[in-house]
């Protein structure tokens, strides 16, 4: 995939995400005051209204990460082992941050943490 194509994909995800976030009742008052938040500001606002466990917030964070990676030429590189993420994984989720083996490892660890917390 070319950088331009990825940029295009990411901005489509961004406008979809912004629309969904804008529909959250917690966000409506904030967005009435100001509607042209940058991604960073949006992350801050969502944190302020305690939405940082929300699935849309988590998606927003990965979008922000993917955009930064694209800027520094590291898009599609696994955030754990720094090898290239499988193209089919990126095709199904352009915001993917981990390769298959690190992702399996991560979710296993996460499950263990959940078990420990309960």
Which residues lie across from 77 on neighbouring strands?
84
Q: Does 61 bind Zn ion (CB under 5 A)?
A: no
Q: In this complex, which beta carbon is closest to Zn ion, that of residue 83 or of residue 112?
A: 83
Q: Least distance (Å) from Zn ion to the CB of residue 2? A: 23
Q: How far apart are CA 53 and CA 46, in angstroms?
A: 10
Q: How far apart are CA 97 and CA 69, in angstroms?
A: 10
Distance, in Å, from the CA atom of 46 to the CA atom of 29, rounded to the nearest integer, reads 12
Size of the site for Zn ion (CB under 5 A): 5
Residues 63-102 that bind Zn ion (CB under 5 A): 78, 80-81, 99, 102
Interface positions with Zn ion (CB under 5 A): 78, 80-81, 99, 102
């Amino acid at each position: 995939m070319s950088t331009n194509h990825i940029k295009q994909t990411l901005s489509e995800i961004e406008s979809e995400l912004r629309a969904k976030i804008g529909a959250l009742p917690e966000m409506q008052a904030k967005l009435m005051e100001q509607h042209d938040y940058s991604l960073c500001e949006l992350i801050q606002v969502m944190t302020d209204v305690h939405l940082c466990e929300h699935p849309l917030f988590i998606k927003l964070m990965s979008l922000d990460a993917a955009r930064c990676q694209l800027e520094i030429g590291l898009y599609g590189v696994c955030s754990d082992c720094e090898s290239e993420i499988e193209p089919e994984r990126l095709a199904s989720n352009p915001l993917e941050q981990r390769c298959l083996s690190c992702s399996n490892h991560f979710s296993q660890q996460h499950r263990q943490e959940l078990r420990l917390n309960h």
